[in-house]
Amino acid sequence: MALSTEQLAALRQAAHWYSQLNSGEAQPSEYSAWQAWLNAAPVNSWAWQQAERLQTRMSTPHAPATTRVLAVAAHGRHASRRRVVKAGLVLLGGSALGLGSYREMQHAPLLPDVRSGVGEQRWLTLKNGSTVLLNTASSVDIDETREQPSVRLRQGEIMVEVPAQQRCSVVTQHGSVEAGHSRFSVRLLDDAGKLEVFGQQARVALASGQAMALNSGQTCQFNGQGFSAVQALASAADAWSRGLLIVNDQRLDTFINDLARYRPGWLRCAPSVAGLRISGTFRLNDTDQILRALTTSLPVQVQARTRYWVTVTAA
């Protein structure tokens, strides 16, 4: 069945909103704007349902087909109207375009080499046997043209494990981390990088020439200005690599901020309950269950204006 011009336009807008809300970078004002768009016309609600139905059909929430189609559509400023419309039709599984159109989009230079969606983790194995685990909402470029592979971290967080007698480096805009046989993580913060070493040793170097080596059990932040003080790793700091969030007597607002990284949309904690304390082990693959568990262990309730706008408040 042919789609109307109005439907095609709505699909383009839905692709933009879906990509933006799942980017891990959306702001509260954008959720308000998305809600206003959703309520503005029945065709908008219809287009959003098509995006969510495709997500349900895919084997993973951020499978490559979904991610690339939505990313192409969302970057309309870099693509022609015809290409954006094609992205919307592929999102619906449009037979008029078929596999050939998807293959064309597969080579679009809009995405990093590898990315993970919000709430998703992905494993990579490099040619020298090193493994890279992308945490939620992360993206990397891989360079294996030299004997020592290099990973450029563009967004988010990764865990790297380097086997004996091998080396690997991680490059960020704040500095570069290099290690031999070791296990370490690198995370991009708002204005710095963060290195955590879980095995052996890793060295971080800045463009200024400053460098620092960290041993197992140590962490520090770094940027173009230098290094923070070296600190001991927090207990269970690498729990995320096992799909877990483990906390011990943590403030609720801190817990919610950590949990929000793994959930699409805007998740916040009301100031009235921010100081409550929480302990426990939680599985990151079901954030809805974690929120339900909060209501049974703390005097709080979960208010969901939409799937993408959730607030934890006093019961």
Residues 187 and 293 in one domain: no
Nearest in space to 136 (alpha carbons), one of 281, 265, 292:
265
- Say whether both 180 and 263 belong to one domain: no
Domain end call among 205, 232, 259:
232
Number of domains within the chain: 3
273 shares its domain with 206: no
Tell me the whole-structure pTM to 2 decimals. 0.71
Q: Are residues 216 and 256 in the same domain?
A: no
Q: What is the pLDDT of residue 190?
A: 87
CA 184, CA 236: separation in Å to the nearest integer? 13
The more confidently predicted of residues 313 and 77 is 313
Residues in CB range of 217: below 8 A, 6 or more apart: 197, 198, 232, 233
Segment 211-267, tens digit of pLDDT = 999 999 999 999 999 999 999 999 899 999 999 999 999 999 999 999 999 998 889
> Are residues 198 and 223 both part of a single domain?
yes
Both 185 and 268 in one domain: the answer is no
In a domain, 238, yes or no: no
Q: What is the CATH number of the domain that holds 310?
A: 3.55.50.30
What CATH code is carried by the domain that includes residue 167? 2.60.120.1440
In tens, the pLDDT along 54-81 reads 654 443 434 444 444 444 444 443 433 3
pLDDT tens profile 152-192: 999 999 999 999 999 999 999 999 999 999 999 999 998 99
The answer on 12 and 97 residing in a single domain is yes
Final residue belonging to a domain, choices 47, 79, 111: 111
Tell me the two tokens of residue 47. 């287009």
* Ranges of H-type helices in the chain: 5-21, 28-40, 42-57, 64-74, 81-91, 98-106, 252-260, 287-297
Domain of residue 140, residue span = 116-232
Q: Flag whether pLDDT at 83 surpasses 60.
A: no
Do 127 and 84 sit in the same domain of this protein?
no
In a domain, 237, yes or no: no
Q: What is the distance between the alpha carbons of residues 160 and 170, in angstroms, rounded to a whole number?
A: 9
Indicate if the alpha-carbon torsion angle 192, 197, 198, 202 is positive or negative. positive
Whether residues 218 and 309 share a domain: the answer is no
Give the end of a domain, one of 84, 111, 138: 111
Establish if 228 belongs to a structural domain.
yes
Residues 107 and 120 in one domain: no
The answer to whether residues 269 and 222 belong to one domain is no
Q: How many CB atoms lie within 10 A of CB 76?
A: 17
Residues 6 or more apart whose Cβ sits within 8 Å of residue 109: none
